[in-house]
Structure 1
Amino acid sequence: MFKFNTEQKVYQIGKVQVGGQPGELPTFLIGSIFWLGQKMVQDANRGIFDAKEAEAIINKMDTLRDLTGVPFALDVVGTTEEAFSKYIPFVADKTDAPIMLDAMSPKTRMAGAEIIKNAGLQDRCIYNSFYKGVSKAEAAKVKECGITASIVLADNPKDNSLEGKMQVLEEALALAKEGGITKPLIDTAIPAFEPDMGTAVRAIPKIKEKYGHPTGLGTGNVVTTMGWVKAHVPKEFRFGTRTATNAIMQTLGANWLMFGPAEQSDFVFPAVAIVDTYIASAMGDLDIRPLHEQHPIYKIFL
């Protein structure tokens, strides 16, 4: 277990606290909904979806949060402004969890930010994302909309070494600050399952020690996209590889994890809660205690 010398920041996003020393707060999970190819999405461009199925997924996550003590956000994936105009109000109405604004197109992200502002959801929103190359116009739009939390990517396509990630992160954090971001969630940017993927894992404690910001990464499809896993491990057993991946990140200090499709929450939440409990128990020897009584250790042992 790690006890960092640098002050570890805790940020409030909606009703959720994220960050801190290992053992202080449960891992913050982020599950994707309305992702491209999700069966319940009937028309991604127009934002037409099966509302009953979407509500069932959201309700399941709320139930698992209450059972395990593990908080979550919904990563709302939109391909158009029209889609966001339907997805965001729907999710906001069905749960009080934070909402991540996720789109490939900067134009669509900015349109989503405007929807967030008009709905008064800024305090619940996480922008996805700031990175080296974000335009001044996008940064200005995010600031104008009053969104203060964002993923900040330590992604360096030209140099995936630890040094390369640290270098590009400085620039990304500066851009985020310019965009009014006061609650950066640093993403160590793990690539697909490749020989150099370990750099993103090693970066977790390194970045937390240097900056103190909540740090994590997206583990969602990393292992399951590996050819060897797809060729040799039946689908029903691949959950084990994902669970192991999440556990590694947690024990290295990750404060948050983007675990992939929200419908996979059934196996993710309990596993994460168990690892959080181990971590909290171990950190007790270092005089670190959970910051609130909703921590999984109290759910499991009391």
Structure 2
Amino acid sequence: MFKFQNEQEIVNIAGVKVGGQPGELPTVLAGTIFYNKHGIVEDAAKGLFDRAAAEKVVNLQEASSEETGNPHMVHIYGTTPESITRYIDFIAEVSDAPFLIDSSEGNVRAHAAKYVSEIGLADRAVYNSINMSITEAEIEALASSDIDSSVILGFNAMDSSLKGRMDMLENGAGLLEEGLLSIADSCGIVNKLIDPSITPMGNGAGVALRMTITAKAKWGHPTGSGIHNAPSAWNWLQRKKEEDPIVYRVCDIGSTCLQQAAAGDFILYGPIEYAKYVFPMAAMSDIMIAEAVADLDIEPSGRHPINLLV
């Protein structure tokens, strides 16, 4: 393992600390709820769902976090303004954890930013995400909100190389008038969480791991990803899944370790139901990384897995 020469920022989002040198803080883990085809969702447009089942999986993640010491966030995904409003209300009711507000639709994300500001939950919300497709309307909504935490997505549809992704953050890569980090500043984002963007296996997935290290070395912001999206989009693995679903799950969950070994500070690990598998695996990685940097003047702090599980 290694230690970055540049100072590494640690941000505090509603009590959850993210960032620092490898081995300093435990990896923050965020499971997704109300995702596409999630079994507990009864009507995705209206945001109707099985409340008992939803509370059960949120509690599962919370218990896993308490046991291992890995902090957690809830990754909320909604498809309409109505649904994401209901989901935010529910998560705020059953958990004190920070939460990510996410949608494939910019107007839904913009609505969520306005809504959490109106009800006084902006300090717990992480916008997901500021990316190359962000519109002026979305920028205006985010800038007008009280949200100060956001994922900054390094996806570059025209150039998925390391340089293309880094340029997207720094200067807009010739596709935007300014870089995404500058846009984040104009929106009042203080807590910047850089996501290098996970592309499918065979289409540059590994570049995201290299960018994690490069971005932390350059800017010092907390960095992480939804790395499970790489194996989940792997055609070969999808075929293997039909033969043996366990093979798929092992690769999907096991990808967590790769992002941690590449100095990731946070991971969006996919379906929240996987918490019981992901948290022990992440804790194991955190312990090994902490032991690897023990002679580099990096000391694990607080409720780190190495202080709880060994």
**TM-score tier after normalising by the smaller chain length:** over 0.9
Q: Which of residues 190, 206, 230 in structure 2 aligns to 1:182?
A: 190
* TM-score between both structures, scaled by the size of structure 1: 0.96
Percent sequence identity is 36
CA contact (8 A) 1:239 1:267 kept: no
Correspondence list, 1:1-302, <5 A: 1-170=1-170, 171-233=179-241, 234-292=244-302, 294-301=303-310
Letter in 2 for 1:213: H
Matches of 1:247 and 1:82, distance apart in 2: 36
Higher alpha-carbon deviation: 135-144 or 177-186: 135-144
Letter in 2 for 1:225: A
CA contact (8 A) 2:45 2:83 kept: yes
- SS of equivalent residue, structure 1 residue 184: strand
Cα drift, residue 134 of structure 1: 1.8
Cα drift, residue 2 of structure 1: 2.2
Cα drift, residue 239 of structure 1: 2.6
Matches of 2:5 and 2:121, distance apart in 1: 34
* TM-score between both structures, scaled by the size of structure 2: 0.94
Segments of structure 1 that go 5 or more residues without pairing to the other structure are none
Letter in 2 for 1:100: L
Letter in 1 for 2:308: K
Matches of 1:133 and 1:230, distance apart in 2: 29
Matches of 1:187 and 1:136, distance apart in 2: 21
CA contact (8 A) 1:201 1:249 kept: yes
CA contact (8 A) 2:205 2:230 kept: no
Matches of 1:106 and 1:100, distance apart in 2: 14
- Quick one: structure 1 residues 112 and 291, their matched pair in 2 at CA, closer, same or farther if it must change by over 3 Å? same
CA contact (8 A) 2:154 2:196 kept: yes
Letter in 2 for 1:299: L
- SS of equivalent residue, structure 2 residue 38: coil
Number of aligned residue pairs: 300
Higher alpha-carbon deviation: 23-32 or 49-58: 23-32
What corresponds to 2:174 in structure 1?
A: none
Matches of 1:259 and 1:235, distance apart in 2: 18
CA contact (8 A) 2:240 2:248 kept: no
Matches of 1:221 and 1:138, distance apart in 2: 25
Matches of 2:102 and 2:232, distance apart in 1: 22
- SS of equivalent residue, structure 2 residue 293: helix
Cα drift, residue 195 of structure 1: 4.0
CA contact (8 A) 2:98 2:126 kept: yes
Matches of 1:270 and 1:89, distance apart in 2: 29
Higher alpha-carbon deviation: 168-177 or 130-139: 130-139
